Chains A and B, each alone.
Chain A
Amino acid sequence: MTTGFNDFTPIRNGEAIPLSSVSHLPFDEFAAQALGIIANGGKVVQFFAYPADGKVRLMAVLRSDALFVATCDAPERYPALSVHCEPFHLFEREIAEQYGIRPEGHPWMKMVRYHANCRGVEDIFGNDYAEDIPGNYDYYQVSGEEIHEVAVGPVHAGVIEPGHFRFNCIGERVLNLEIQLGYQHRGVEELLLQADPGRLPFIAENIAGDTSIGHSLCHAQAMEALCGSAVDMGAKRIRTIALELERIANHVGDLGALSGDVAFLPPANYCGRMRGDFLNMSLLLCGNRFGKGLVRPGGVRFALTDEIRLDLSSRIDDLKPQVDHVLALLMNTPSVLARFEGCGRVSRDDAEKLGLVGPAGRACGLPYDVRRAFPTEYYDRLDIPENAESTGDVRARAKVRCDEVMQSIAIIESLLGDATETATALRPEGCPASDSLVVTLNEAWRGELSHCVLTDHRGGMLRYKIKDPSFHNWNGLSMSLRDTGISDFPLNNKSYNLSYCGFDL
């Protein structure tokens, strides 16, 4: 596809560039060209504000078949891009909350995480943050005698993260689901600016524990680019194996949860057990079931010895037919399909507008996968199949997961086939380059994960921006629930399995 003419600067995934080489446009040009790229099929990767020489700037990182970046000075108020272009929606709310910059005419202007802005200017939402969340959250309401509201959360029924769901229903049919988050805001982005450099990898891998490898990779790649560190091929193989193990464990767990939600207990239990087996492979590799402590700037902290490699191979050989059989059982059972098919549909058009990523997007026919589009680590040597489905329902989201599980198992099998040598005694890195920008993308198991790091004139952190795939996909869940029975909410919720902590940061 062609993006047409624009002044945005092309960049590459995981490469640091001087901030001065990024196009700086007048706001009107910046907005018009960004909208033009999106209108021609592009998508928003990052859109955020950052401080620059006592002022505030906006930066947009967009993708089509390549990555583009540009900046502009941030007006105190500007005509909202969301009015013309849905993908900017949540980013504009976030900028308003973080920096107090007002997008005029924004159609859904509400808090994202419920915290004061960092400039100390008047709060866009009129909140006093000494008061409890939700403050002035203007919940969407539907009028009518037959309408009722169902409020769920923040503390949910099971062992699950907190968030607030509010359904407007007529009878059992959901007219709208509003999702209000922010309960788990721990100030990650600010902490990354202030903490000692030695702590950064630990903060990064704890952004979302089920995506520890994904976030560690984005962080490590950013630091490697800024410091000019090279990563050897062995480390890349190990990091790729770890990311695929993370993908498998989570997908298998989700398929088990979906099975449990339709009361099909055998696969629910088997998947729950097998997920543990995959987590135990990460435990074998680095001593932590979630891969914490494995990925570090410069490479990996633990080697893949032949003993461990052969043990992992053996475990994969044992598990592969079991996984295949259990997933076949789940996906071939008529009563399961009756519940999955047609449930929570999102059309391809809506998915495009919302900017859905990962399995949620692929279920709607959007084949985008960072491993294929902007490969990192070892992925440029691997064939990543397109896993697009077309129906956009629970069955499609489950099917994408099933396919990816088997593909990831095959990837790991191939990567474990040969001995892998890597350095593991990581030296302290050099100083990050000053006045620089690096954007890293990885296909975490939920989809496109991105870190964007800006350094100041001393090489210190100027801005550390994190975009979890759930940032795009929460609106997909809301869309899935429209005109759906409220009793289908748990099934749809698990078919997305979005990250609360990755969103709340």
Chain B
Amino acid sequence: MLSVLKNRLEQGCRTSRYPKETVELPPRYRGRPEIDAQAPADLADACAAACPQAAIDASARTIDMGRCVFCGTCERVSEGRFVRFTQDYETAVAEKSQLVTRGELPDLAAHSRQHFKKLFGRSLQLRQVSAAGCNACEADLNVLATPFFDLARFGINFVASPRHADGIVVTGPVSRNMKTALMQTFEATPEPRVVIAVGSCTLSGGPFRGSPEITEGLDTLLPVDLFIPGCPPHPMTNLHALLSFFK
């Protein structure tokens, strides 16, 4: 008992004050990309050629955050003169087309499904389906339950049954072998319900694109309400997305 108390004193209070106070991430963190539309064409072409995810459109001067794994290769190739990754972790969008960007993102809170705020703004119960990713997205969703993020203080929880859920959160590129379980989980979730796609794999197949065993984009199977890019999305990206979309 004494050692419990001793540990308790040593640990202190660790919960972030976000969203009242911003959370700073270290300099090497790669968040929202910004594109310099005036950069020379050869620089844009070099970045597009170097991108392992084929996420850069050199002629349109855009980057597809759904394909991007935020590895920073393009920033390195262009020395930041065509693509620069900012420290902004608030990268989630409510429309898939908004993932293709030059860096400006719409205000997520002003999305077109405002009724979800009325329905779920005070209590949101989510059911998670892992659909063949690498488990990093799952890890960074699980971490939202730890003291620093303390998701439960916002009235948001992950539940054990789709019957208790207001929506599903999907991670991974939806393998052929996982498709039926995913669809059954979605169908078992009562309406009105929300579908949240987390991570590059769910948005586009991510690093596994081209494999015949996967689905390239959850939106080809289900109507997706919220798209959270990253590989994996930082927990703050997940937290911002949930709070902005629902509250």
Do A and B belong to a common assembly? Answer: yes
Q: Which of A203-211, A368-376, A394-402, A473-481 contacts B (4 or more CB under 8 A)?
A: A203-211
Contact A184 B132, beta carbon cutoff 8 Å:
yes
Residues in A neighbouring B135, C-beta threshold 8 A? 161, 208-210, 499-501
Known contacts A183-B181, A187-B211, A272-B145; is-contact A161 B138 (Cβ 8 Å):
yes
Q: Does A284 contact B (CB under 8 A)?
A: yes
Known contacts A206-B207, A292-B69, A325-B10; is-contact A184 B172 (Cβ 8 Å):
yes
Residues in A neighbouring B161, C-beta threshold 8 A? 157
From B137, which residue of chain A is reached at the shortest CB distance? A209
Residues in A neighbouring B160, C-beta threshold 8 A? 157-158
Contact A186 B137, beta carbon cutoff 8 Å:
no
Contact A326 B7, beta carbon cutoff 8 Å:
yes
Q: Does B78 contact A (CB under 8 A)?
A: no
Known contacts A162-B130, A210-B135; is-contact A186 B146 (Cβ 8 Å):
no
From A277, which residue of chain B is reached at the shortest CB distance? B148
Contact A273 B148, beta carbon cutoff 8 Å:
yes
Contact A290 B207, beta carbon cutoff 8 Å:
no
B residues 1-27 touching A (CB-CB < 8 Å): 3-4, 6-8, 10-11, 14, 25-26
- Contact for A276 among B146, B172, B213, B232, CB less than 8 A: B146
From A191, which residue of chain B is reached at the shortest CB distance? B211
- Contact for A284 among B8, B28, B181, CB less than 8 A: B28
Q: Does A504 contact B (CB under 8 A)?
A: yes
Residues in B neighbouring A160, C-beta threshold 8 A? 130, 138
Q: Does A285 contact B (CB under 8 A)?
A: yes
Q: Does A230 contact B (CB under 8 A)?
A: no
Interface range, A side: 35 or more
Q: Does A31 contact B (CB under 8 A)?
A: no
Contact B208 A332, beta carbon cutoff 8 Å:
no
CB A248 to nearest CB in B, in angstroms, measures: 14
Contact B11 A209, beta carbon cutoff 8 Å:
no
A residues 146-200 touching B (CB-CB < 8 Å): 154-155, 157-162, 182-188, 190-191, 194-196, 198-199
CB B142 to nearest CB in A, in angstroms, measures: 5
Q: Does B40 contact A (CB under 8 A)?
A: no
Contact A286 B210, beta carbon cutoff 8 Å:
no
Contact A162 B178, beta carbon cutoff 8 Å:
yes
Contact B208 A206, beta carbon cutoff 8 Å:
yes
A186–B212 Cα distance when bound, in Å, is 8
B residues 165-210 touching A (CB-CB < 8 Å): 172-173, 175-178, 180-181, 185, 201, 206-208, 210
Residues in A neighbouring B71, C-beta threshold 8 A? 202, 292-293
Known contacts A161-B130, A202-B71; is-contact A292 B231 (Cβ 8 Å):
yes
Q: Does B105 contact A (CB under 8 A)?
A: no
- Contact for A186 among B140, B142, B173, B234, CB less than 8 A: B173
Contact A186 B213, beta carbon cutoff 8 Å:
yes
B residues 114-139 touching A (CB-CB < 8 Å): 128-139
Contact A325 B6, beta carbon cutoff 8 Å:
yes
A322–B8 Cα distance when bound, in Å, is 10
CB B39 to nearest CB in A, in angstroms, measures: 21
A184–B143 Cα distance when bound, in Å, is 22
Q: Does A53 contact B (CB under 8 A)?
A: no
Residues in B neighbouring A280, C-beta threshold 8 A? 26
Contact A329 B158, beta carbon cutoff 8 Å:
no
Known contacts A270-B7, A276-B148; is-contact A293 B130 (Cβ 8 Å):
no
Q: Does B32 contact A (CB under 8 A)?
A: no
Q: Does A47 contact B (CB under 8 A)?
A: no
Contact A115 B213, beta carbon cutoff 8 Å:
yes
Contact A183 B175, beta carbon cutoff 8 Å:
yes
Known contacts A187-B208, A210-B136; is-contact A272 B178 (Cβ 8 Å):
no
Q: Does B141 contact A (CB under 8 A)?
A: yes
A283–B71 Cα distance when bound, in Å, is 12
Q: Does B214 contact A (CB under 8 A)?
A: yes
A157–B164 Cα distance when bound, in Å, is 11
Q: Does B61 contact A (CB under 8 A)?
A: no
Write the A103-116 contact mask toward B (1 if CB under 8 angstroms, else 0): 00000000001110
Interface-centre pick from B128, B177, B181, B234 (highest chain A CB count, 10 A): B177
Write the B45-72 contact mask toward A (1 if CB under 8 angstroms, else 0): 0000010110000000000000001111
Contact B177 A185, beta carbon cutoff 8 Å:
yes
Known contacts A293-B72, A322-B10; is-contact A212 B214 (Cβ 8 Å):
no
Residues in A neighbouring B143, C-beta threshold 8 A? 272, 275-276, 279
Known contacts A266-B8, A322-B10; is-contact A185 B30 (Cβ 8 Å):
no
Q: Does B29 contact A (CB under 8 A)?
A: yes
Q: Does B80 contact A (CB under 8 A)?
A: no
Interface-centre pick from B14, B131, B132, B206 (highest chain A CB count, 10 A): B132
From A184, which residue of chain B is reached at the shortest CB distance? B132
Q: Does A418 contact B (CB under 8 A)?
A: no
Known contacts A158-B158, A183-B177; is-contact A273 B208 (Cβ 8 Å):
no
Q: Does B147 contact A (CB under 8 A)?
A: yes
From A198, which residue of chain B is reached at the shortest CB distance? B52
- Contact for A208 among B7, B134, B172, CB less than 8 A: B134
5 A–B pairs (Cβ distance < 8 Å), ordered by A: A157-B161, A159-B130, A329-B3, A499-B135, A500-B135
The list of the 4 closest CB pairs from A to B, nearest first, reads A209-B136, A287-B28, A272-B146, A209-B134
Q: Which B positions have Cβ atoms within 8 angstroms of A?
A: 3-4, 6-8, 10-11, 14, 25-26, 28-30, 50, 52-53, 69-72, 76, 128-143, 145-148, 158, 160-161, 172-173, 175-178, 180-181, 185, 201, 206-208, 210-214, 231-232, 234-235
Beyond A158-B142, A183-B175, A199-B52, 4 extra complex contacts between A and B, CB < 8 Å: A196-B52, A284-B28, A288-B30, A501-B134
